[in-house]
């Protein structure tokens, strides 16, 4: 899962509203906005750390003279060292963080669901906001069929097209 900054408020609202509506947690109406802000803070902290990791990976690769085609492997290794979740682990990490927050938050009156049930429900709500990266990439590729694949021009055009697709979908 990739977490987009523009999706953060919707995820927080969905989690609080849905869990409150199905009786997993109790949040008073006047505290819902604050409970959502707590979840927003958790997600923004994750993104801050993710950007910090990305910058550190780039600096380390440049200092070590490592080629950019090794970025994914290098990032994965460094993320593991930092104990920073990536890929499918992001949603699971956020679900655990949300549940820990529910237990200590002044804005969540009561938690009624068992941990396992609450975790599955929270995870499902987070994953409902997941973006199909492959579909974005295919849509971007379809827009640049006139350029030969495998060239520098193709890669540049693909990145521009991908950025345009994400803008149209409200992801950036």
Which residues touch 94 (CB under 8 Å, ≥6 apart)? Answer: 3, 42, 43, 46, 126
At 155, is the pLDDT very low, low, confident or very high (cuts 50, 70, 90)? confident
Closest CA relative to residue 8, chosen from 167, 93, 129, 162: 129
pLDDT, mean of residues 145-164: 89
Distance CA 104, CA 161 (A): 44
At 43, is the pLDDT very low, low, confident or very high (cuts 50, 70, 90)? very high
Are residues 145 and 31 in contact, defined by beta-carbon separation less than 8 angstroms? no
pLDDT of residue 67: 86
State pLDDT tens for residues 98-146. Answer: 999 999 999 999 999 999 999 999 999 999 999 888 899 999 999 888 8
Q: Over the chain, what is the mean pLDDT?
A: 93
Distance CA 155, CA 141 (A): 10
Q: Could you give the 3-state DSSP secondary structure of residue 156?
A: helix
At 19, is the pLDDT very low, low, confident or very high (cuts 50, 70, 90)? very high
Q: In 3-state terms, the chain is what percent helix, strand and coil (to 5)?
A: 70, 0, 25
Q: Residue 69 above 90 pLDDT?
A: no
pLDDT, mean of residues 5-26: 96
pLDDT of residue 50: 96
Q: Residue 27 above 90 pLDDT?
A: yes
User: 152-168 vs 133-142: helix axis angle to the nearest 10?
Assistant: 120
SS3 assignment for 64-129: HCCCHHHHHHHHHHHHHHHCCCCCCHHHHHHHHHHHHHHHHCCCCCEECCCHHHHHHHHHHHHHCC
Distance CA 107, CA 50 (A): 27
The share of the chain scoring above pLDDT 90, in percent, equals 77
State pLDDT tens for residues 84-104. Answer: 999 989 999 999 999 999 999
Q: Residue 31 above 90 pLDDT?
A: yes
């Amino acid at each position: 899962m990739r977490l987009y900054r523009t999706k953060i408020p919707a995820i927080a609202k969905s989690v609080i509203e849905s869990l409150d509506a199905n009786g997993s947690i109790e949040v008073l109406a006047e505290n819902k906005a604050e409970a959502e802000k707590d979840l927003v803070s958790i997600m923004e902290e994750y993104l801050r750390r993710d950007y910090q990791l990305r910058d550190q990976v780039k600096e380390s690769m440049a200092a070590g003279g490592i080629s950019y085609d090794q970025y994914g492997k290098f990032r994965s290794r460094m993320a593991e060292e930092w104990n920073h979740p990536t890929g499918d682990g992001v949603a699971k990490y956020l679900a655990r963080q949300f549940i820990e927050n529910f237990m200590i938050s002044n804005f969540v009156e009561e938690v009624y669901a068992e941990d396992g049930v609450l975790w599955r429900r929270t995870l499902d709500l987070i994953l409902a906001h997941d973006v199909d990266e492959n579909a974005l990439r295919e849509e971007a590729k379809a827009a640049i069929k006139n350029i030969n694949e495998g060239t520098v021009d193709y890669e540049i055009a693909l990145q521009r097209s991908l950025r345009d697709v994400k803008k149209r979908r409200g992801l950036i």
